[in-house]
Structure 1
């Protein structure tokens, strides 16, 4: 098995810990979205990153529904932090029981949909804490998805019958998540300022929809560059295709880190 930098190695870099504060802002390196169809493909992709410090990846529905908890174990064994992005959205009891299972997995971040409401968000947090305590691991941070970055304001208003503008709708969901125990939100970077204005200083804005200037936006609608996300107050970036489809993924990752300012 390829050796990745361990937790001890990472502490030696001076960037230990899941999040840290820089210039009054909570920061985190870029999270690589492992949107691959199999565990073998995902792990092969990561091989060139073996000596990259503070590696942090996202496991979404495609990979998790194929590989299951085994992919989480394989990543932990390599010393890699995991964002488990399953966007749970169900009745509170079901979400609580689901989060109790996910809380046992030793991942760093998990997601729900903020639209599930106050009771569901509270239940998710309870489940995460219960599962983590049972397994003797640190509870994952709970992130609530506001509006997908593939959704335009017009789509939101016509298909979801939300009559507010996008910043107002996202701010409302972010405040709801914060008031009910979530540690942060998943949102497009342009909404970060209104989210920070309505929540606590340590409430996290993690942003997908990140592209290098020369890259295609594909199915994303509300897209920004890493540098622009930093200016808007982002606490962390989730980047997939700009890295995974690059001719040199490690070089693309390093370029994004430089633009991001870390």
Structure 2
């Protein structure tokens, strides 16, 4: 896979105007992430705008609710023709299994390809201490992420979102056909922000990540085009 196709850039902006301006500022970006803020603001309008520009879409809404509600949301989202869709693995096995069926139904209803359904193992903003003391989960963080990913795979999901620090273990255990999407990726020259568990782009790819979600190091850079090019070059050098 070419480096530019492995980087997903988040459209973490509040309006359709700001989103389109960012897409036009970075025409070389082929894969964009639409999250809660922008989708709540614009609905499917932003998805249509991206598709009209032949962009791939990661719809990152992290569905988390009772099984029937999550299945209904997945069915509706799949009909929109997005490429990746996220739900929390902590919804449980029944919910995950219903969701895998629902995306097939939703995509078939509009004649589009079903999205790859990706499980959230654990938000990368959560530290081991928070997992233990705030969430009261007795497992070590890597073990918890692995258990969530395995349940997702057994339930028919296509992959998982995980910290790059867990990617190597998940790749070894879940196999090469299981997609790993890694946020929390920060070049050495970028600020970590609110991410607690980070790797550089090259470290994340070497650990087994298929896709890297990289936002502020690109979108908040003084020169976003230069930042994009530097990250692509770092990844490309691994393949030479």
TM range (shorter): over 0.9
Shift of 1:202: 0.5
Matching residue of 1:218:
193
2:117 is paired with a residue whose SS is: strand
Partners of 2:25 and 2:45 lie apart in 1 by 21
- The answer on 1:34 being equivalent to 2:30 is no
Which residue of structure 2 lines up, in the alignment, with residue 58 of structure 1?
Answer: 33
How many residue pairs align between the two structures?
236
> Which runs of structure 2 are paired with 1:13-92 in the superposition (5 Å)?
20=1, 28-50=5-27, 52=28, 55-92=30-67
The DSSP-based 3-state class of the residue aligned with 1:209 is: coil
Distance (whole Å) between structure 1 residues aligned to residue 171 and residue 127 of structure 2 = 21
Q: How much has 1:260 moved relative to structure 2?
A: 2.0
Which aligned pairs between 1:132-151 and structure 2 lie closer than 5 A? 132-151=107-126
Separation in structure 2 between the aligned mates of residue 93 and residue 208 of structure 1, nearest angstrom? 28
The answer as to 2:132 corresponding to 1:157 is yes
Q: Please give the alpha-carbon distance, in whole angstroms, between the structure 2 residues aligned to 1:89 and 1:222.
A: 23
Partners of 1:134 and 1:82 in 2: CA distance: 19
Q: Could you tell me whether the CA contact under 8 Å between 1:208 and 1:237 is conserved in 2?
A: yes
Q: Work out whether residues 229 and 260 of structure 1, in 8 Å CA contact, stay in contact via their aligned partners in 2.
A: no
1:110 to 2:85 alignment: yes
Q: Paired residue for 1:181? A: 156
Q: List alignment gaps of at least 5 residues for structure 2.
A: none
Q: Which runs of 5+ in 1 are unaligned?
A: 1-19
Q: TM-score, normalised by structure 1?
A: 0.87
1:28 and 1:174, CA in 2 relative to 1: closer, same or farther beyond 3 A?
Answer: farther
Structure 1 residue 28: Cα displacement: 4.3
Q: Is the 8 A contact 2:159 2:180 kept in 1?
A: yes
TM-score by length of 2: 0.95
Distance in structure 1 (CA, Å) of the matches to 2:46 and 2:101: 25
Over 3 Å counting, the alpha-carbon distance change for 1:49 and 1:28 in structure 2 is: closer
| Alignment RMSD (CA, Å) | 1.4
CA distance in 1, matches of 2:100, 2:229: 34
Distance, in Å, in 1 between the alignment partners of 2:170 and 2:230 is: 27
Say which SS state the counterpart of residue 143 (structure 1) adopts: strand
Q: After TM superposition, what 4+ stretches of structure 1 lie above 2 angstroms from structure 2?
A: none
How far the C-alpha of 1:148 sits from its partner, in A, is: 0.7
